[in-house]
Amino acid sequence: MEKRKQVYEGKAKKVYKTDDQDLFIQEFKDDATAFDATKRGTIVNKGVVNNRISEILFELLESKGIETHFVKKLDERQMLIKRVEIIPLEVTIRNIVAGGMAKLLAMPEGIVLEEPVLEYHYKKDELHDPLINEYHAKAMKIVTDEELDFIAKRSFEINNILKAFFDHKNLDLVDFKLEFGRHKGKVLLADEISPDTCRFWDKKTKKKLDKDRFRRDLGGVEDAYQEVLKRITG
């Protein structure tokens, strides 16, 4: 597979064309940003770890019938993906109160939700990814009714699969963010699933093992990412 022109550079990843117009290459960087990119830094080897973790989780989901953009891992930092048109909607699923929900509703972090909470955010940096509901999403015409139904159902299915998986690894899957894209008329799970996009707490100690260590200057950021990979593969 020949790597061609870069088509996109985001905060944590670059995307390249290939000689096949239906396939792109996604490259994971070590760059880390938080709070609308006002906080910037490097997490050494994050790209390598997130590429590997995403590979494992996309393969797990595919094995359970969830279609994703993942094709195969190419090398330490790169994966081959299906070309998608990203739907500018961030889907957050929460199992335990933390982060944005704790702030929005003045709820203490750590409350276990009886039912998972689904949130939509409009993916738009200039607007700071505002919280929206399904009516906003449809009014903006970023997604159709059918697509939105599918995305919501899929997101809860993904939560069930991931929650059970991480439970066995002694990790609480606190919350996570998903992005979907259109490929040949189908909606596929896209982007990445990693400690950048999920919150993981150690089941016993509740130690944070995700990007919150970077966001909140808790130290041991690299070790936390490595620990998640070790638990997943161990």
Site residues (vs ligand 5GP, CB under 6 A): 90, 92, 98-101, 129, 175-177, 196-199, 211
Which residue, 130 or 220, has its beta carbon nearer to ligand 5GP?
130
Which residue, 83 or 177, has its beta carbon nearer to ligand 5GP?
177
Which residue, 12 or 80, has its beta carbon nearer to ligand 5GP?
12
Q: How far is the CB of 175 from ligand 5GP (least distance, A)?
A: 4
Which residue, 90 or 227, has its beta carbon nearer to ligand 5GP?
90
Which residue, 18 or 51, has its beta carbon nearer to ligand 5GP?
51
Q: How far is the CB of 215 from ligand 5GP (least distance, A)?
A: 9
Q: How far is the CB of 194 from ligand 5GP (least distance, A)?
A: 8
Burial label for 28, CB within 10 Å (0-12, 13-18, 19+), is: buried
SS3 of residue 163 by DSSP: helix
Q: How far is the CB of 90 from ligand 5GP (least distance, A)?
A: 6
Residue whose CB is nearest to ligand 5GP in the complex, by number: 99
Return d(Cα 139, Cα 110) in angstroms, integer.
34
Which residue, 52 or 211, has its beta carbon nearer to ligand 5GP?
211
Q: How far is the CB of 43 from ligand 5GP (least distance, A)?
A: 12
Contacts by residues 229-234 (CB-CB < 8 Å, ≥ 24 positions apart): 229/49, 229/52, 229/53, 231/169, 231/170, 231/171, 232/53, 232/56, 232/169, 233/56, 234/169
Return d(Cα 97, Cα 211) in angstroms, integer.
16
**Sequence-distant (≥ 6) Cβ neighbours of residue 219 within 8 angstroms:** 213
Enclosing H/E stretch for 82: strand 78-82
Q: How far is the CB of 123 from ligand 5GP (least distance, A)?
A: 8
Query: What torsion do the CA atoms of 188, 16, 28, 175 make, to the nearest 10 degrees?
Result: -20
**Sequence-distant (≥ 6) Cβ neighbours of residue 115 within 8 angstroms:** none
Which residue, 17 or 123, has its beta carbon nearer to ligand 5GP?
123
Q: How far is the CB of 174 from ligand 5GP (least distance, A)?
A: 7
Burial label for 40, CB within 10 Å (0-12, 13-18, 19+), is: exposed
